[in-house]
Structure 1
Amino acid sequence: MDADLSINSLVKVTGSTALLGLGSNLGDRIGWLYYGLAKLGSHSGIRLEMVSSIWSTPPVQAAGGEFLNIAVRVNTSLNAHELLQAVKGIEAETGRSGSASDARRLDIDIIYFGDSIVDESSLVIPHPRRLMRSFVLAPIAEVCGTAVDPVFKTRISELAYLKLPGLIPRATRVFHPGWHGSPRSGKFG
């Protein structure tokens, strides 16, 4: 899990804004989230722009203990499929098998990719279960600014406060004493 947080904040990446969800429920959960941020930030086609608070939630249809979740807003020169390959590569480095029901050191999902709507067997954007999971909505609302959901034409931050049928209700914001700073400063702890 040794990865330096060498965020390429001096490199101007131009392209699309994407909102990603990261989660971990195995081992050093905060360490794995940090690792995911470091790996994303070291990719030449990805620039971290904003990271949410850490949120804790029970596992949903997955083995293991409580998840810690964050959202990150990135600017990327990659297209959606290339970004998917990049995040799946990072997951694979942590030993992720790809099974949705396994406990995992690191899970990275593309929640939004600009205002794109993609419905393919290998990639669905926006994430199809985003509105049913408070552990996605709450952190995404912190980093999305005034972004609008391309399907519902509603601000993403407003969707986080809707009480939708089937919503996984409990997401608790947690703070870690070593989790401070911003991606632009390159200081996390």
Structure 2
Amino acid sequence: MERVYIGMGSNLADPAEQLRSALDALAHLPATALAGVSAFYQSDSLLPGQPRYTNAVAALDSSLSPLELLDALQAIENDQGRERLERWGPRTLDLDILLFGDRLIDEPRLKVPHYHMQERAFVLYPLAELAPKELRLADGRTLAELLAACPFTGLERL
């Protein structure tokens, strides 16, 4: 089993309930155990005019392959009404593989570590509740270094 961190976000249809439902679905994935979940946070959308997001990070221990897990996450999103109409549009649920063990994955459907996670407080601060500060990304930077470069601004812990 490998430790996998999943970024979670929603800004439609009762976002906190969307995340709770997703956590229940994650806990029931085959060959996978839900190892932890961060607090929920609210953050502004990256694009103006959208509702605020509710975000969290879940830790999983999984023996699924990266693409098997990606397929399972997308099935959960679809079950919860996710529509992929535009890349940065509002959504009922967004589940992203942030880190998959110490793997560096560059597949057409999956890039890990998740792109731009090092710049997003709504990812790093929930991740820091679950992962050790000395956690190293594939590029050698530690979680502590990423946190030091990304201020806790625009976030509200729920």
Instruction: Please indicate, yes or no, whether the TM-score normalized by the shorter chain is above 0.5.
Output: yes
- 2:3 is matched with 17
**RCO higher in 1 or 2 (8 Å CA, sep ≥ 6)?**
2
Report how many aligned residue pairs link the two structures. Answer: 156
Q: Output the CA distance in 1 between the equivalents of 2:116 and 2:53.
A: 17
Q: TM-score, normalised by structure 2?
A: 0.91
Change (3 A) 1:34 1:66: same
Q: Say what the alpha-carbon RMSD is for the aligned residues.
A: 1.8
Q: Structure 1, residues 63-111: CA drift from partner, whole Å, max 9, x if none?
A: 6311010001110010111111110110011121223222111110000
Q: Output the CA distance in 1 between the equivalents of 2:83 and 2:37.
A: 26
Alignment of 1:39-188 (within 5 A): 39-61=25-47, 64-98=50-84, 99-145=86-132, 146-151=134-139, 153-163=140-150, 169-174=153-158
Q: Structure 1, residues 106-150: CA drift from partner, whole Å, max 9, x if none?
A: 110000000110112211000011012111111011111242112
Q: CA deviation at 1:51?
A: 0.6
Partners of 1:62 and 1:103 within 8 A in 2: no
- SS for the counterpart of 1:39 is helix
Say which structure is richer in helix.
Answer: 2
Change (3 A) 1:45 1:64: farther
Post-superposition, which runs of at least 4 consecutive aligned residues in structure 1 deviate over 4 A?
none
Q: Output the CA distance in 2 between the equivalents of 1:83 and 1:61.
A: 28
Partners of 2:125 and 2:152 within 8 A in 1: no
How many percent of aligned residue pairs carry the same amino acid? 29
Greater C-alpha Rg: 1
- SS for the counterpart of 1:95 is coil
Change (3 A) 1:86 1:157: farther
Partners of 1:144 and 1:157 within 8 A in 2: no
Partners of 1:26 and 1:64 within 8 A in 2: no
Q: Output the CA distance in 2 between the equivalents of 1:132 and 1:162.
A: 8
Partners of 2:7 and 2:95 within 8 A in 1: yes
Listed as ranges, the gaps of 5+ residues in structure 1 are 1-14, 175-189
